[in-house]
């Protein structure tokens, strides 16, 4: 898998950036990750390929995907700023691109806040498209999120996760783009409502 990922990194950054690509691949494979691991990275890369005709700046979307969860420690409040900093430092030779990538990574802390242009909106929607996945896939995602917090008791986890789910349900729509909203908005709200109700009843979604 790492060799395949390195090949995909090279198609974005060129062969002279192998050391950075290898560092990112190792970061995405850290043991504390269950959902936010290489499978999430690969899914997003595949989704970007599938939506290629809609993407105006492939480099921007590609680097946003690779760096957006490059730093990930469950429960840590500064994962997004640290990931953005890694992108900003690594892309210092392209300051305008670096600034755009870093900004959209910081936006992933709360996908619904702030303004985002076409490519940024598309990336932000791709990152949370799992909310509208099939019920079985959504269950695996929810179980993966729970598994990333083994040290947190169920009531405390339910309080934090429940607040996120409730906020999703309060919004008029789940996704920024009409494309993702029309394709996945209804199923996303159904999935989120189901998980929220399970938590309200004291039941955790586990793998």
Residues shown for the chain: 207
Check if the beta carbon of residue 147 is closer than 8 Å to that of residue 31: no
Q: Is 39 exposed, middle or buried (0-12, 13-18, 19+ CB in 10 A)?
A: middle
Q: Residue 124: pLDDT band by 50, 70, 90 thresholds?
A: very high
Q: Is 4 exposed, middle or buried (0-12, 13-18, 19+ CB in 10 A)?
A: exposed
- DSSP annotation of 70 reads S
Q: Residue 89: pLDDT band by 50, 70, 90 thresholds?
A: very high
pLDDT at 1 (0 to 100):
58
Check if the beta carbon of residue 206 is closer than 8 Å to that of residue 161: no
pLDDT at 203 (0 to 100):
86
Supply the pTM of this predicted model: 0.96
Write down the mean pLDDT value for the chain. 96
Q: Residue 112: pLDDT band by 50, 70, 90 thresholds?
A: confident
DSSP secondary structure of 76-103: -TTHHHHHHHHHHHHTTTSHHHHHHHHH
Helix (H, G, I), strand (E, B) or coil at 109: coil
Over range 156-178, report the average pLDDT: 95
pLDDT at 206 (0 to 100):
85
* CA atoms of 4 and 15, how far apart (whole Å): 14
- Residue 56 to residues 84, 111, 119, 121, 175: CA-CA distances in angstroms? 21, 20, 7, 12, 19
Share of the chain above pLDDT 70, in %: 99
* CA atoms of 92 and 119, how far apart (whole Å): 21
* Of 190 and 202, more confident: 190
Over residues 47-83, the pLDDT tens digits come to 999 999 999 999 999 999 999 999 999 999 999 999 9
């Amino acid at each position: 898998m790492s060799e395949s990922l390195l090949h995909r990194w090279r198609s974005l950054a060129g062969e002279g950036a192998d050391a950075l690509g290898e560092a990112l691949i190792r970061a995405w494979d850290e043991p504390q990750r269950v959902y936010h691991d290489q499978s999430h990275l690969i899914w997003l890369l595949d989704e970007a390929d599938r939506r290629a005709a809609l993407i105006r700046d492939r480099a921007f979307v590609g680097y946003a995907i690779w760096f957006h969860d490059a730093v990930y420690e469950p429960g840590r409040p500064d994962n997004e700023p640290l990931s953005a900093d890694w992108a900003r430092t690594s892309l210092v030779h392209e300051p305008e691109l670096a600034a755009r990538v870093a900004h959209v990574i910081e936006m992933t802390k709360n996908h619904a806040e702030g303004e985002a242009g076409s490519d940024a909106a598309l990336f932000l929607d791709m990152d949370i498209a799992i909310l509208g996945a099939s019920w079985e896939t959504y269950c695996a995602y929810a179980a993966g999120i729970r598994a990333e917090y083994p040290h947190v008791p169920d009531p405390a986890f339910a309080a934090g996760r429940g607040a996120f789910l409730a906020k999703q349900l309060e919004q008029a729509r789940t996704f920024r783009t009409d494309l993702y909203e029309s394709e996945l908005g209804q199923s996303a709200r159904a999935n989120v409502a189901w998980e929220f109700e399970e938590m309200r009843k004291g039941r955790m979604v586990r793998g």
